[in-house]
Chains A and B, each alone.
Chain A
Amino acid sequence: MKTNETRDAVWKAVVLRGWQALRQPLVATVFGLLVGAAVILACGHNPIEVYKEMFEKSFFKPYYLFSTLTRATPIIICAMATGMSWRAGYINLGVEGQMVTGTLVATVVALFLPGPPVLVAIIAWLAGMAAGALYALLPSVLVWKFNVSMVITTLMLNYVANYITSYFVTYPLKDTSGDGLALQTPEIAAGMRLPRLSSTSTFNAGFIVAILVVLFMVFITRKTVFGYESKMGGFNPSFARYGGTKQVKVMLITMALAGAIASMAGSAEVFGLKYRYADGMLSSTSYAWTGLQAALIAGLDPVGMFFVSIFLSGLQIGGSAIQRSLGIPLEIATIIQCCITLFVSVKVVIRFTKKPKAVKEGGKQA
């Protein structure tokens, strides 16, 4: 019967393909959790009970679920920024620096630009995105003109951005009200803050921003010629050039977008959660690095990155919960997520090599 055939075909297309795509990260996750269990055992605790509490206090109770989603917001956006650049073949390790730069600029504009709050807030976000984009374009131009290593340059710029923003927050921009001990800027005006989405927790509209960013990235990668050209450039730059793609243009646009998106991660944190820029608030929480790992685990797929980011965020929230109650250091979450990444990596082979390996020509096909 035709309908049964089509149903089988749909099953095959969706479920089978989904299983194939998810199989690797799922298997890796199981192994990662096993390693975590071993570490928990070494601390003298029962892994099953610990995991039960961890997952309860991250996903299964509403208050904690909101915490997870709140923390996931910047992670999701950082993952998108990372994924956007890595997909195109540019190993951008500088998302943290781009995020920090953009966020500080956005905060400064919000604090010092006079005008109606909503308008100022919008300008602030845009200014932040421009700053993030420029900070990402800096290494890109160096790579273009001087063929330096994107890896090393973007990474170095992370440290530079962190130190410079720390300087600004410690001296010129410091909030002198209160005891003046905290290294942070004053708060931004109430009218500029993102609305809370829940009355009982800090869950806010930043999460909506994150979802919009994901949708934007899905749109770019699947529906636009730019997304196609950048994907092909990531697979094989020579192929893209041969087909007429302007590699430099694609690189600059990709990195600028990545930088702009990265800044939104920090802006969501400032405008939605903390309402000020505090020294190290974005780096000590490792949002960018968690986002990077989410990107790697999810194989750079936008929707995958969204869910994996939430999962990793939950691990971290659960991790701090068990630190409070059981004394196991919260880094257990990082250990688990790094192990998951390592287990995923064993299957990820050709993706990131610059020159495509020639496929073996073995004998004749039937």
Chain B
Amino acid sequence: MKHITKVYGSLYANDDVHLTLDKGEILAVVGENGAGKSTLMKILYGLEQPTSGEIYLNGELQHFRSPHDAIAKKIGMVQQHFMLLEPCTVAENIVYGREPRKNGLFFDRNAAIRITEELCDKYGLHIDPRRLVKNCPVGLQQRVEILKVLYQDADIIIFDEPSAVLTPQEVNELLATMRKLAQMGKSIIIITHKLHEVMAVADRVMVMRLGKYIQEMPKSETSIEEMSFLMVGRHIVEREVPPQETTGTVLDVRDLVLAGPDEKNILDHFSIHVDAGEIVGIAGVSGNGQSELIQCLTGLLPPTSGEIVLKGENMAGRSVGDIRNAGCACIPEDRYLWGCAAEATLTETSIMAHQYKPELSRHGLLNSKGAKAFTQKLLDDYDVRNSGQSQKAGELSGGNIQKLIVAREMEQNSPLLIAAEPTRGVDIGAIEFIHNKLLQKREKGDAVLLISSELTEIMSLSDRIYVIYEGRAAGEFRKADATEEALGILMMGGTLHENE
């Protein structure tokens, strides 16, 4: 790929980027959120057109107007957000696009099953063709995506942030798969910001930053520190968090059970506690009950049984309003689904959950001046870039709307703050800012419950860490005792005694 430039409006997502890939090698493209790696790959896969620049395959110029063209040239992509048909079987998903036919028109589903089994044998990946994708755990779903790509006979396979949803052990399996595919002659590009994976599997590394190509080198000639420096443009110092005494329990979750649709509990006698003046992190691969836990704690979903004791009072099953009033604020995990409304103005977004406070309303009548003043304080204190309070929330960048949401929830000054994926999809400046704010809340003496799928975030901020697996609290660690390896084992459902 030469001189690839992609412009969105006035934004250079890719700015004159080059990329070369040799047969049978694994190339890692690294960079922070927003560096332009995904855009570059989307161009290669035909999902986007470059504003300028060319792509050559084996010396021939290519024009990919759609994924169809890329697939025809044997390029496959395993995307970060899976493109799967959940109510359909594994086999149906794999053969989509080149379905085996009976009599020309009819879908030969039995042949699809046979084809899947043949693929599994050929590449050493195992999966049940008849299983419905929605019943497959995330790691298996990714395997379906890989098999899809292999069915299309791809020679070049792109992996976009593949480990985002996997446990450390599943990541190792994935990396082993990649190495095997490379040995079989496939050429692989992996996009990631997880540098230890790069060191584990890549042959060459290419660094991007702010849409530009920075540098490339063989893996053997670089290190994690060097890559990190190139990615960010400066040295990042490990955060030092001074230990502090806790003063009393704020949140006590006892034996929380949430029954699921098929006799399996989504939350299975889950018990944790969070004290004032500490940050408690919950580590775990998404899909193990975190979302439901947050919904139970905030009152969006009533638990089947168990207690949620907030400041001494059991709030299980109570309404959202009651729980908020009892002293719980929440930074939601999906800011666009729960945290804001795209068409609401910034003022309207900021006063949510504050609208009954005396400075904002009296007897059901809104105080517009008070609302504007309140909003302006949030915008200023948290440096939210905006073009006026009547701007629509959907127009803010991801980092800025997240900062506004954090501001709004911090302003509740509640004894307990639940922070769910607080820095997901946010640029690095905002990440540091938000982390600082969470630590400030801890310093103030409040309790923070941090739920995140980014293990580094959990390990850097938390005083105590629980691991959640299949709705149970699988282990509890003090900060000093927590290692990535131990956490990873528990996140996968293993037990620690095995590895002694």
Contact = CB atoms under 8 A, between A and B. Distances in A.
A and B touch in the complex (CB under 8 A): yes
Contacts of B211: 363-364
Contacts of B10: 366
B338 A238 contact: yes
Interface stretch (B350-358, B441-449, B452-460): B350-358
A222 to B, nearest CB: 8
B287 interface: no
B407 to A, nearest CB: 15
B342 A350 contact: yes
Interface string A332-366: 00000000000000000011000011110111111
B366 A225 contact: yes
B39 A363 contact: yes
Interface stretch (B104-112, B174-182, B319-327): B319-327
Nearest to A365: B397
Contacts of B320: 241-245
Contacts of B46: none
Given A228-B355, A351-B343, A359-B336, A241 B361 contact: no
B482 interface: no
Contact of A246 (B319, B330, B337, B339): B319
A239 B340 contact: yes
B366 A236 contact: no
A236 B340 contact: yes
Given A356-B337, A362-B8, A362-B13, A235 B342 contact: yes
A145 interface: no
A134 interface: no
Interface string A201-230: 000000000000000000000111111110
A223 B365 contact: yes
Contact of A232 (B12, B339, B344): B344
A351 B343 CA distance: 8
Contacts of A246: 319, 321
Contacts of A236: 337, 340-342, 344
Contacts of A356: 336-337, 341-342
Interface residues of A, number: 33
A10 to B, nearest CB: 15
A231 interface: yes
Interface residues of B, number: 46
Nearest to B324: A244
B476 interface: no
B259 to A, nearest CB: 20
A271 to B, nearest CB: 31
Contact of B338 (A228, A239, A357, A365): A239
Interface string A112-141: 000000000000000000000000000000
A225 B368 CA distance: 11
Contacts of B368: 223
Nearest to A17: B390
Given A246-B321, A365-B397, 5 more contacts: A224-B364, A235-B344, A244-B324, A361-B397, A366-B10
Interface of A: 222-229, 231-232, 235-236, 238-246, 350-351, 356-359, 361-366
25 contacts: A223-B365, A224-B365, A225-B356, A225-B364, A225-B365, A227-B366, A228-B348, A228-B351, A231-B344, A236-B341, A236-B344, A238-B338, A239-B339, A239-B344, A242-B332, A242-B338, A244-B319, A244-B353, A350-B343, A356-B336, A356-B342, A359-B336, A361-B425, A363-B34, A365-B385
